[in-house]
Amino acid sequence: MAKPQKPSKSALLATIQACVENGERLLEETYDLEFREPPSSRFFLIMIAQEEFAKAFILFLVKEDIVLFSPPVLRAINDHACKQLVGMIMDYMIMHWDDVEELRAAISNDYDLGDRLPNDVGSAMELLRYEKIGRWESNNWVWAEDPKYDTSALRIAEGKKDRRKQDALYVRVGRDGRACSTPQTISEDETRDEFERARRYRSFVDSMLDGKASSHRYDKAMAALNILFERERHPR
């Protein structure tokens, strides 16, 4: 694979903006499908919009010199599972809650963790760095001891979430020839939840670009990403 050129800050900002605008366009188009049943086509567009905002986040990491613009990183930008792992990291930094009890529980968990990340978020970062980008850099290495990744993050890395997205469009056929999944399995509640998640991603990217994304979780996650990608930036 040809080595990509190091992009300028202005080029990265323009591409980030293009990703954000495309994500916005996709979300706007979902309104045309709001009253269609099943909501599967709307669900699919929403999930693609989420990936566009996650792509913008990866490019932001490149702009901030946390991640190098290498062939494996470019591949990650175009890989659905990688962008969905990034979404998991974004979810953590956004810290969304629906009621006061959820907020109290989140604050309590953060206090108990101290400087550590939750297992699912830490696993999402490590899967992105080592099992995705790292394997594409070089597949000639093995772990001395198999990592114990969080199950939810591992499922995303293995493509389970992307399969759910595909199920919104296609009839999935089982080994016995029967239809084991159809777009009718996508629910209104699931679609609404993912739409709200996409809107949060959009606001989060805006706040990053405006320099207003700082919080305890944001700072902790960015510091962890900086450490994980340090060897890529400064190879021995």
Task: For residue range 33-79, list pLDDT tens digits in order.
Answer: 999 999 999 999 999 999 999 999 999 999 999 999 999 999 999 99
Asked whether residue 118 carries a pLDDT value surpassing 70, the answer given is yes
- Residue listed under structure tokens 């400064």: 234
Selection from 56, 21, 26 nearest residue 41 by Cα: 26
Distance between CA 56 and CA 89 in Å, rounded?
13
- Helix or strand run (H / E) with residue 181: strand 179-181
Assess whether pLDDT exceeds 90 at residue 171: yes
* pLDDT 10s digits, 2-27: 666 789 999 999 999 999 999 999 99
**pLDDT value at position 152?**
97
* Radius of gyration from C-alpha coordinates of the chain: 18
Average pLDDT over residues 101-122: 87
Residue in the block written with tokens 């901030």: 64
Q: Which residue has the higher pLDDT, 227 or 231?
A: 227
Express as a percent the part of the chain with pLDDT over 70.
96
Q: Return the pLDDT at 207.
A: 94
Q: What are the tokens at 24?
A: 């916005």
Q: Is the pLDDT of residue 144 over 80?
A: no
Tell me which residue of 64, 45, 19, 114 sits closest to 229, measured CA to CA: 64
In whole angstroms, give the CA distance from residue 220 to residue 109: 14
Residue tagged 């998991």 (tokens): 88
Query: What is the model's pLDDT at position 124?
Result: 97
More confident: 1 or 119: 119
CB atoms within 10 A of CB 85: 27
Q: Name the helix (H) or strand (E) containing 172.
A: strand 172-173
C-alpha–C-alpha distance, residues 69 and 91, integer Å? 24
**3-state SS, residue 52:** helix
HSE at residue 214, side-chain half, CA atoms within 13 A, is: 3
pLDDT at res. 235? 61
Q: What percent of the chain has pLDDT over 90?
A: 78
Average pLDDT of the segment spanning 222-229: 95
- The answer on pLDDT for 133 being more than 80 is yes
For residue 20 the two structure tokens come to 């954000």
Mean pLDDT of the residues in the chain: 92
Query: Could you tell me which of 75, 62, 96, 102 has the C-alpha nearest to residue 198?
Result: 96
Percent helix, percent strand, percent coil in the chain, to nearest 5: 70, 0, 30
- Residue 204, CA distances (Å) to 189, 199, 207 in order: 23, 9, 5
* Residue 145: pLDDT band with limits 50, 70, 90: confident
Give the model's confidence band at 1: pLDDT under 50 very low, under 70 low, under 90 confident, else very high: low
